[in-house]
């Protein structure tokens, strides 16, 4: 068993992920730039550590769950001098494939190892320990990480370093596109004189059934745009998808349209849940609106 695991990044996802690791009996040292976020985990038995170097020093495994690829790269650079040789760094953030491959190169050059293991399932999945975890890296490293990652969800090894990020981008491509299609279906139902809530109920269980229709369709009907995911996060993912497509020489016309929809509300509803794709669609159709509930939006 691992004597010390460092967890870096205690945000909306990091907090419940650490709690799942602690519930599995793992020794966790938690670090965050905003120190009180790490201190809030003391009640779980995690050890809050103010300094990054102290958090990663002598750690068998380092897990990062950070805002973006550039932030991950900066934290890796700051942590490298304190890492012990052979340490395994598991990055669970959402980054670009090329960034993950660069992290792997930098850590290997320092005598360490790397797995990219982004997740899907949101805060609810993190709390329940049911995240979908998509891992890229050497098979032996992924297997070493398996008992740790299993405390947070279901792990699938999808290929070499960087492949985890490709899998996550495929996931986000489907999520972003489907959210926009559900918004179009509900607005069409409303505009054509049908009850959008009844239409959603009618098509559930058929071929149109999906987790997006279940969760985000209900959010749209309730006009609940309080953040689970966020417009800014989804848009970051869309840009990363298009970058991966360009690198692979693939044209993704639907993804380009979905990106434009999120861009249209980026400055108006940046922290709203990505179900706010409905608001972007309604802005294209003045005078049309799904339901009559007031909008619930973050301040």
Measured from the Cβ of residue 163, the count of other Cβ atoms closer than 10 Å reads 19
Catalytic, out of 4, 37, 168, 236: 168
Which residues, including other chains, have CB under 8 Å from residue 53's CB and lie 6 or more apart?
78, 79, 81, 82
Rounded to whole angstroms, the Cα distance separating 67 from 72 reads: 8
Enter the DSSP assignment of 296.
B
Active site residue 37: no
Binning the chain into helix, strand and coil, the percentages to the nearest 5 are: 55, 15, 35
Query: For residues 38 and 65, is the Cβ–Cβ distance under 8 A?
Result: no
Measured from the Cβ of residue 92, the count of other Cβ atoms closer than 10 Å reads 28
Burial class (CB in 10 A: 0-12, 13-18, 19+), 140: exposed
User: Which residues are designated catalytic?
Assistant: 168
């Amino acid at each position: 068993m691992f004597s010390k695991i460092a967890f870096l990044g205690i945000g909306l996802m990091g907090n419940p992920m650490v709690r799942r690791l602690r519930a599995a009996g793992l020794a966790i040292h938690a670090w965050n730039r905003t120190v009180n976020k790490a201190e809030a985990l003391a009640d779980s038995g995690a050890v809050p550590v103010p300094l990054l170097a102290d958090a990663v020093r002598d750690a068998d495994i380092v897990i990062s769950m950070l805002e973006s690829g550039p932030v991950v790269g900066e934290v890796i650079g700051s942590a490298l001098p304190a890492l012990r040789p052979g340490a395994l760094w598991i990055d669970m953030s959402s980054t670009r494939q090329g960034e993950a491959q660069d992290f792997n190169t930098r850590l290997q050059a320092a005598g360490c190892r790397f797995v990219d293991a982004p997740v899907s399932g949101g805060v609810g999945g993190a709390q329940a320990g049911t995240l979908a975890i998509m891992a890229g890296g050497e098979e032996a490293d992924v297997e070493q990480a398996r008992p740790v990652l299993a405390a947070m969800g279901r792990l699938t090894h999808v290929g070499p370093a960087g492949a985890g990020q490709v899998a996550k981008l495929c996931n986000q491509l489907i999520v972003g596109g489907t959210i926009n299609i559900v918004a179009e279906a509900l607005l069409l139902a409303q505009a054509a004189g049908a009850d959008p809530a009844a239409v959603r109920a009618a098509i559930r269980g058929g071929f149109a059934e999906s987790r997006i229709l279940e969760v985000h369709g209900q959010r749209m009907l309730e006009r609940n745009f309080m953040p689970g995911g966020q417009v800014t996060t989804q848009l970051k993912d869309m840009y990363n998808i298009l970058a991966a497509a360009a690198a692979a020489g693939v044209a993704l016309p639907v993804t380009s349209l979905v990106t434009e929809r999120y861009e249209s509300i980026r400055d108006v509803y940046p922290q709203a849940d990505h179900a706010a794709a409905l608001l972007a669609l309604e802005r294209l159709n003045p005078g049309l609106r799904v339901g009559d509930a007031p909008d619930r939006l973050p301040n």
